[in-house]
Amino acid sequence: MTTADPLVGTTLDQRYHVEARVASGGMATVYVAHDRRLDRRLACKVMHPSLAQDPSFVRRFINEAHSVAKLSHPNVVQVYDQGTDQGHVYLAMEYVPGQTLRDMLNARGRLAPADALEVISPVLAALGAAHQAGLVHRDVKPENVLLTEDGRVKVADFGLARAVESAQQGTTKTGTVMGTAAYLAPEQIERGAADARTDVYAAGIMLYELLTGSQPHTGDTPISIAYQHVNEDVPRPSRAVPGLPPQVDTLVTRATERDPRYRPGDAGQYLALVLNVKSALPAGAAAGPTAGPQAIGAAPAGGDGNDTLVVETGGLPDAAPVEPDYGDRGRNRRLDLDYRSLPVIVVAGVLAVLMLGFGWWFLVGRYEPVPDVVGMHQQDARAVLGDIPVQVEVGDKRVYSQEDPGSVAKVEPAVGERILPEDTVTVFLSKGPQTVEMPDLVGQSAQDARAALEDDGFAEIVEEETTSQDHPAGTVISTDPEPGADADREAPVTLTVSEGFEVPDVEGLQQDQAQSTLQEAGLQVSVTEQPSEDVPEGEVISQDPAAGGTVSSGDSVTITVSSGPEEIEIPDVTGWKVDDAKKHLEELGFKVKVSRLFGGDRVTRYSPQGSATEGTEIELIASPFAPQGGDDGGGGGRPGNGNGNGNDD
């Protein structure tokens, strides 16, 4: 426990308050933390920064965490949550007070057979549940087996090795392999292949270590240990600890066959074998072989020893049976019988070997297991399957999986199933995980958002429109699921899209009032003027867009304001004959009033002058002294000239 760690005292994601560091390994550091939201104590496993900086690792780590979180079993350390905060990639897990199986082995040495089977059984139960769910641990070892204070056994770190392996593909990093070389199956070392049977192999190595107190293959370097796994069989535990029951020897050698075809198919099958042997152990097997009355690892002082594993020392092989002495005559008779029956025995032996060989070939030998090509690119998978050889077909449809899109997601027949050469193996390519992180589409156009979701493989996209003065019409206001949340690509995704808002009705308002109303709604205003006989000057005649139309904040609305009735230019009719001037003005839309002085018939003056609205009354004042006009539409002449031209009344 230390407080020097910079994470101690901080809070991850504003939820997990880190209290103390409890352990550190090759991949991560484990802390005790307090969940402020649910008020409980838990463990936070924070990945080392070198891994957290690798995007491929973070993506794989999140996907694996989602898969493991769905695994619920009393012998599996439960994963509650995962996340990233300021560069820290972490898992929030069940807190298990106690020690690791490695701690117990370091303190007590080897275990008696019954005790070893008692420990390995819940480990296999946890692995079996994972295998049934399609998960492979890949890193089974005593360090990942936790022993609780109340005697329970729990397995941790499902999927973590897979995430690290994925992040390290194509690089020269070997930290993961080096850290677990003692438990790696040959096919993991040779081909990088891992399935349920590789977990069974590691469990067999761990059972060997429980029974003997040491690992079957040792060396100065991880490479030398890995070489032994590939080229040497795991020895029977009784070679290291004479006197172990042969059934227990068989449990170890069966699980650690170098050819995975001869191992139990998964941890559930191996558990069934372990339980059968456990129930059939002879009396006294629980105490183990002894070399004397002394034992180590007894219950501590003050305890009753009921929850303590007993580990004893020594152990001698059983004495060889003594053959009875029949004397010389008996021995000679026995030799004579042996010589006479030797040819029969040889022939029978040869026939037995041939029959066994044929039977093995017919039932087993001619078959090949489907190799683990899951996660490989299509071309690499074809190459591996072609070594059998088999026919390879690619499935018509891609399937959801935790593998990278385009890589092999699953095969039919399944990995490990036996097939004949030239059989057909169908590989199904991955279209990525079914559950992905929801992208942030807020502010994008609905069209662009839909295209992005379709590119991500979402099958059902629903749009719902709502009024908004804060978001332009046609843009995304929110999504369901929310950005950053887990989104099922087979489930509907709802886009809430802004439809803008209705234009306020400002027709009939004074210009100032109309402009203020529109500007308060977030709209730009343009003003034009237009004469109107019906609308008073200064009032809004019309607007574009019309009232009730849809706009977005910042859009422009044009209002047309009345400039009052249109005025008509009043022509200069001075000097015109009254009748001609009146007719012309009335044709222009004016009313005309005539005032004659002394019976005059020519316009001396008129009022008003300039321009006036249609219907305005114009007064014409006629006088006999008015000057004669020019082109007045007819008949005018200079008055009083006596020549009879014009009107000289």
Per-residue pLDDT tens digits for 585-643: 999 989 999 998 888 889 999 999 988 888 899 999 998 876 665 444 443 433 333 33
pLDDT at 158: 79
What average pLDDT does the segment 429-440 reach?
A: 90
Backbone angles phi, psi at 534, to 5 degrees: -100, -30
pLDDT of 330 strictly over 70? no
Last residue of a domain, one of 312, 343, 363: 312
Give the CATH number of the domain where residue 69 resides: 3.30.200.20
Burial 304-331 (b: 16+ CB within 10 A, else e): eeeeebbbbbebeeeeeeeeeeeeeeee
Higher pLDDT, 633 or 372: 372
Within this chain, do residues 255 and 284 fall inside the same structural domain, yes or no?
yes
* pLDDT at site 401: 85
Confidence of residue 421 (pLDDT cuts 50, 70, 90): confident
Band (515; pLDDT cuts 50, 70, 90): very high
pTM of model > 0.85: no
Q: Does position 518 have pLDDT exceeding 80, yes or no?
A: yes
619 contacts 597 by C-beta, under 8 angstroms: no
Percentage of the residues of the chain whose pLDDT score is greater than 70: 79
Question: Are the beta carbons of 263 and 255 closer than 8 angstroms?
Answer: yes
Mean pLDDT of 278-294: 54
Cβ neighbours of residue 286 closer than 8 Å, sequence gap 6 or more: 112, 113, 114, 115, 310
Give the tokens for residue 575.
């000097």
Give the 3-state secondary structure of residue 477.
strand
Q: Does pLDDT of 159 surpass 60?
A: yes
Q: pLDDT for 533-588, tens place per residue? A: 888 989 999 999 998 888 888 889 999 999 888 888 999 999 999 999 999 999 99
pLDDT for position 344: 62
Can you tell me the distance from the alpha carbon of 111 to that of 46, in angstroms, rounded to the nearest whole number?
Answer: 33
- Residue 38 burial (C-beta neighbours within 10 Å; 0-12, 13-18, 19+): exposed
The answer to the question of residue 555 being in a domain is yes
C-alpha dihedral (205, 209, 212, 215), degrees to nearest 10:
80
The better pLDDT of the pair 646, 433 is held by 433
Mean pLDDT (the chain, rounded): 80
Final residue in a domain of this structure, among 51, 79, 94: 94
Which is it for the CA torsion 616, 621, 622, 625, positive or negative?
negative
Kindly tell me if the per-residue pLDDT of 163 is higher than 90.
no
pLDDT at 468: 86
- In the predicted model, is pLDDT for residue 117 greater than 80? yes
Distances in whole angstroms, Cα of residue 22 to Cα of each of 29, 32, 44, 47: 8, 7, 10, 14
Number of structural domains (the chain) is 5
Please tell me whether residues 81 and 118 are part of one structural domain: no
Residue 344 one-letter amino acid: V
Domain match, 52 and 149 both: no
* pLDDT mean over 490-509: 92
> Is residue 416 over pLDDT 60?
yes
- 3-class DSSP string for 286-319: CCCCCCCCCEECCCCCCCCCCCCCCEECCCCCCC
528: Cα within 13 Å, side-chain hemisphere: 10
Where residue 434 falls among pLDDT bands split at 50, 70, 90?
Answer: confident
pLDDT of residue 637: 37
What are the DSSP calls for 51-63, one per residue? HHT-HHHHHHHHH
Asked if residue 343 belongs to a domain, the reply is no
Q: Does the residue 320 lie in any domain?
A: no
CATH code of residue 198: 1.10.510.10
CATH code assigned at 542: 3.30.10.20
| The pLDDT value given to residue 255 | 96
Please, which pLDDT band fits residue 356 given cuts at 50, 70 and 90? low
For 383-392, what is the mean pLDDT? 84
Average pLDDT on 47-57 reads 80
Is the domain of 163 the same as that of 26? no
pLDDT(153) > 90: yes
Burial of residue 606 (CB within 10 Å: 0-12, 13-18, 19+) is buried
- pLDDT interval class at 176 (50, 70, 90): very low
| Catalytically active residues, by annotation | 139
Residues 317-329 pLDDT 10s: 333 333 333 344 4
pLDDT for residue 167 is more than 70: no
Same domain, 102 and 158: yes
The token duo for 49 is: 């920064």
Asked if pLDDT for residue 200 goes beyond 90, the answer is: yes
Q: How confident is the model at residue 161 (pLDDT cuts 50, 70, 90)?
A: low
Do both 73 and 111 map to the same domain? Answer: no
Residues 195, 257 within the same domain: yes
* Token couple for 115: 């005790």
28 in a domain, yes or no?
Answer: yes
Q: Contact at 8 Å (CB) between 568 and 588?
A: yes
pLDDT of residue 213: 94
**Residue 471: exposure state from Cβ atoms within 10 A (0-12, 13-18, ≥19):** buried
Mark whether 491 and 599 lie in a shared domain.
no
User: Looking at the domain assignment, is residue 354 inside a domain?
Assistant: no
In a shared domain, residues 104 and 243: yes
Q: Is residue 340 part of a domain?
A: no
pLDDT interval class at 294 (50, 70, 90): very low
| Residue 18 in this model has a pLDDT that exceeds 70 | yes
- 118 and 55: one domain? no
Residues 90 and 103 in one domain: no
Q: Which domain holds residue 596?
A: 566-649
Q: Domain for residue 403, yes or no?
A: no
Residue 486 belongs to a domain: yes
CA 53 – CA 43 distance, rounded (Å): 22
pLDDT at 464 over 90: yes
Which of 545, 562, 579 is the last residue before a domain boundary?
562
pLDDT of residue 169: 46
Same domain? 517 vs 528: yes
